[in-house]
Structure formats: C-alpha cells, structure tokens
Structure 1
Amino acid sequence: MDWSIGISTDKTVAYAATINRTSQVIAKRCTFSTKDCSWHISAKESCEQGESYAALVNTDKGAGHVTLICDGQIDSGGDYRFTFSDWKTIENLALAGTRIGVAIPLQSDNFIVYRFSLVGAKASTERLEAAFLKLIDEKPKDRVKI
C-alpha cells in the first residue's frame, strides 16, 4: 500500500496521502474546525493564493478536467498547495484507478505532470472518513465533502 493516514502535528487536520518520487503529495484532508474534507496536491509551481488554475487529471480508469485553487506556499522549500475545487470528480477518479497524473499548464504552452500511485487510496480514504466522522461525532451525509 502506497498510502498512509495520520493527523497533522498541530492536530487540526486528519489525512490520507501519498508522496511521489519528486516529493509531491496528493491527499484527502479532513479539517476538524470546518468538519469537512477536500482533496489537495502539492506542486513546485508558484501560485497566487485564492486564484483558480485549470488542470487535467488522468488515471487508468478515466480522465477529467479539474480546477485547482491555490492555498499558497506551504513550506520554505517552495512547494505550494492546491485544492481541487470539484472534490467529487477527483475522488471518483482517484478511488477507481491504480495511478493518477495531474497535468498543470505552464506559460508558453508547456505542462508539468505530477504522477502518483493510487495503490491503497480507496482503503486509506475509507479509514480516514470512518475515523474522522467518529472523531467529529457525525453520521455520513450522502458523502458531502467527505
């Protein structure tokens, strides 16, 4: 299994995540204060916090167009975090395949593609959701944002 689950060091977020060969992360993160979950990716490409960026997602089970929202810089190494705005599209793709690629357009008609293993993603996100719902003491509601 290439995915793991855990809780952030500041205990504000629970997550299911994997890291690729270039040290980028794709994750489903559940925030205790807002009681919701969302999908994120880290990238080397800089972005303006709150701005939207188009991207393409491809797996061995399908492909789709997604919008990434910049969450800003996440570490001193220069990585930025993006939130997938349509959690249902990314979740349906991420939980069905064995590999995923996220292509982000750059200037001058170039793309950067981040690839991740999805082996263990379904089991890890299901464990995350069950634990998160138990910790916030709520029942599943049509999988809204979870």
Structure 2
Amino acid sequence: MTKIYTILIAMLFPAIANAVDIAKDFGAWVVIKSNDNLDLIAVTVNDSGNFIGFRCYSSSKNCIHVLSANTNCTDGAKYPILINSDYSSMSMDAVCGKNGNGHELYLTKYDDIHDLLQKGNNIGFAIPMESGQFKVVRFSLSGSEKAMDYVEQKTAEVKTGETYL
C-alpha cells in the first residue's frame, strides 16, 4: 500500500516528484522528503488520488497545510471551503497556488485546521465549483497527529542549510 501512496504522491505533487523516499509511515499518512531534501511533508492520498499534506520548511521553520482536490483555480485567489470531521466542522478561506501543471489550495486558518487534522478518524472538504455544485473529498486521519508531530519535530532539529538524510 505504501508503494501506491508513493506513486500517487509523485504523480500528483510535482514539486516533490523525486521525493519517493518515504521517511516514515504513520497509519494512512506517510512522511516524505522534498526533492531537495530540505523539507519534510506529512501526506495522505485518498482513493481518488486527491491529497492533503502538511509541509514544514527547514529554512524558515514555517509549516503549511495543502489540499489538492484536482480542481482548477486562479493562482493567488481565495476560495471558501467547508470542512467536516467526526470531531468538528468549520469553514475557511483557502488560497490557490500553482504547483507544476496543477493547483493546490493552501488552508489559511493554520491553528484551526492543524487541530482538526489531529483529531477524529476522517475529514471531508466541500469545495464550491463554478457549476454551482460542490466537489467533496474525504481523507483518513489515521496517523495524522503522529505524522505531523514527526515533521514538526524533525524540522525543528535541522539546522538552516542542512538536508534531511
């Protein structure tokens, strides 16, 4: 199963296409290295090939939450999304970013989404589409808390300019 995740991640996340070296498995989540070995990413992929990830940058020690739902959006534009889990629900704006030939949504309420991703068993995102309908994507949260904690801990330990080996 891990090999399937790795292949899907490499196909769907061009910025880390060379990062097929899995650092650690955590349930439905895996931790991988960025292609430059400078950053770690905790990520899970659903059956439709969509993913949600948590990336920490070793240079700035900042982390972001990224949702890829195979949707098109305008780079830099804000989009409202609805989030629901068996723990809680919320709405927030997401900012569109281009990644290779695709788009990702950067989730803007860092503390709120981080807390939600660490609790419960499953999470779903409803994204409004131009057609007036919603696209809904769901993910397992099994292992998410440990995966994100691992990424934060390892990022805090690495010195600026060093790489993850």
TM-score grouping bracket, smaller chain normalisation: 0.7 to 0.9
Larger relative helix fraction = 2
Q: 2:88 aligns with which of 59, 62, 67?
A: 62
**What's the CA shift for 1:6?**
1.7
Residues in 2 aligned to 1:34 and 1:70: alpha-carbon distance in whole angstroms? 21
Q: Is the CA contact 1:68–1:84 (under 8 Å) kept in the aligned structure 2?
A: yes
Give unmatched runs, 5+ long, in structure 1.
Answer: 138-146
Give unmatched runs, 5+ long, in structure 2.
Answer: 1-26, 161-165
Residues in 2 aligned to 1:9 and 1:128: alpha-carbon distance in whole angstroms? 15
* SS of structure 2 residue aligned to 1:11: coil
Give the structure-1-normalised TM-score. Answer: 0.86
Match of 1:87 in 2: 110
Give the structure-2-normalised TM-score. Answer: 0.77
**What's the CA shift for 1:80?**
1.4
Percent identical pairs in the alignment equals 28
**What's the CA shift for 1:32?**
2.3
Q: Is the CA contact 1:66–1:89 (under 8 Å) kept in the aligned structure 2?
A: no
**What's the CA shift for 1:129?**
0.8
Residues in 1 aligned to 2:133 and 2:127: alpha-carbon distance in whole angstroms? 9
Q: Please list, as runs of the form range in 1=range in 2, the aligned pairs for 1:1-146 lying within 5 A after superposition.
A: 1-72=27-98, 74-76=99-101, 79-136=102-159
**What's the CA shift for 1:82?**
1.1
Alignment: residue pair count? 134
How much is the aligned-residue C-alpha RMSD, in angstroms? 1.4
